[in-house]
Amino acid sequence: MEKYEFVEELDAGRYSVTKKMRNIQTQEVVTMKFIELGPKVHENIGKEIMNHHLKEILFSKTHAALVMEYVDEKEISKDREIVDGMEKYEFVEKLGSGSFGVTKLMRNKNTKALFAVKFIERGPTIDKNVEREIINHRSLQHPNIVRFKEVMLTPTHLGIVMEYAAGGELFKRISISGRCTEDETRYFFQQLICGLEYIHSRQICHRDLKLDNILLDGSKAPRVKICDFGYSKSSMLYLRPNTIVDSTTNAAPMDPANRQYDRELYSLHSTPNTAVGSPTYAAPEVLDEGEYDGQIADIWSCGVTLYIMLVGSYPFDHPNDHEDVQKTIQRIKNVDYNIPHNIKISEECRELFSRIFVRDPSKRISLKEIKSHPWFLKKLAWELNEGIQALFYRRNIRTFSHQSDEEIMKVLREAEKKLPS
């Protein structure tokens, strides 16, 4: 605990005390909950992991210290202002924030169901990436993809309502445990591949697959949930500039009266030709200048997630300089990686790596080939059977979005308008 200094005590309970602490080096203020070590410590820590987004867990001889983001009363008041005007939902807690905006846990006032709602400030912030994310996400209905619910407006923000994945990011799970066993890794990877295969079947490439964008539900055997489609693109749209097929019904081309809407959707999509997402997960062709196949690049990113789950580090980081992005990029382009000697990985898994990490995209293993690979097929979870997944869709159809693409675009056009000062 040497890197933190005490600021003030915030709360105290029977088995824990919560304090405001400051990182001595960075001066970042955090909330630290100290839980007394004892018979129920793992149960108590487990509850905190489920209910909060932890930065790290530290241990002393007598206590476990859970480090969380510090939020003062002014921030809580600001959170409530953002959600003001939402008749259906009430604020529960903040889940995270980024350059895009802020994500909050919200509760439906009638059903009491929990949802994650991403709030983005109205005005110029509502750009093509936001529109792409919503239109593509809305068309995807699969057990391994976070469900899109609806878009709505508050006086100041656009709200994107989605399924709440109570288990949090897979990245956080690995950060806490260090790495996963091969069987646990395979279980998560099988789900990731099944979800991605469905995304690709809808003619969409994700382009930002990483552990941060892979969530887990709150079940005992966690179900993977792919999220964040901000960089996704749909070839169904950019290959057919004069006709748009409804993404959920495969209906006939739209009426000419809606041609403006047709053009708006088409303008969101083009052949991928820019490097987006995290460089550490990017395929070599993404880092080159020029067009590339986003679906084949997604497979490389899956390989990076597989490696991190098994090894606990990034495959292409320079061993002596993890912070140098240019060295990482060069190693990616050279396919320069190795598996540490102290990490035991089966030969079948090593062979799979050798077929994913291939410089030439045309020679890289396909999703279909991954699904028939011996390592992938071992201990294949029963719920990944295609028939079971089809049953999931039929049982849950009422929980998916019933907003049409046209209704969503109307909300987005309204959200784009600059708010009065």
4-12 vs 16-23, strand pairing mode: antiparallel
DSSP track, 323-338: T-HHHHHHHHHTT---
User: In this structure, are residues 109 and 124 in contact, taking their beta carbons and an 8 Å threshold?
Assistant: no
| Whether residue 321 lies in the annotated active site | no
Sole residue written with tokens 């068309």: 139
Q: H-type helices in 139-181, by residue range? A: 170-177
Q: Which residue reads 């487990």 in tokens? A: 46
- The dihedrals phi and psi of 102, each to the nearest 5 degrees, come to -140, 145
Is residue 174 within 8 A of residue 312, CB to CB? The reply is yes
Q: Which of 79, 84, 183, 208 is catalytic?
A: 208
CA atoms within 13 A of residue 314's CA, in its CB half-sphere: 24
What phi-psi label fits residue 360: left (phi over 0), alpha (psi between -120 and 50 degrees) or beta?
A: beta
Measured in whole angstroms, the distance separating CA 105 from the mean position of its chain's CA atoms is 15
Angle at Cα 25 formed by Cα 99 and Cα 177, nearest 5°?
Answer: 70
20 is in an annotated binding site: no
Q: How far apart are CA 228 and CA 209, in angstroms?
A: 9
**How far apart (Å, rounded) are the C-alpha atoms in residues 160 and 181?**
35
| CA 235 remoteness from chain centre | 22
Classify residue 106 by burial, with Cβ atoms within 10 Å: 0-12, 13-18, 19+: buried
Q: Which residue has the tokens 């109570």?
A: 166
**Separation between Cα atoms, residue 53 and residue 332, nearest integer Å:** 31
Other Cβ atoms less than 10 A from the Cβ of 371: the count is 15
Q: Which residue has the tokens 């099988």?
A: 190
For residue 88, with 0-12 CB atoms within 10 Å meaning exposed, 13-18 middle and 19 or more buried, which class applies? middle
Structure tokens at 214: 């892979």
Which among 267, 298, 302 is positioned nearest to 285, based on CA atoms?
298
Structure tokens at 290: 């020029």
CA dihedral 324, 326, 329, 334 (to 10 degrees): -100
- Residues classed as catalytic: 208
Annotated binding residues for ATP, written as ranges, equal: 118
Q: What residue numbers does the annotated binding site cover?
A: 118
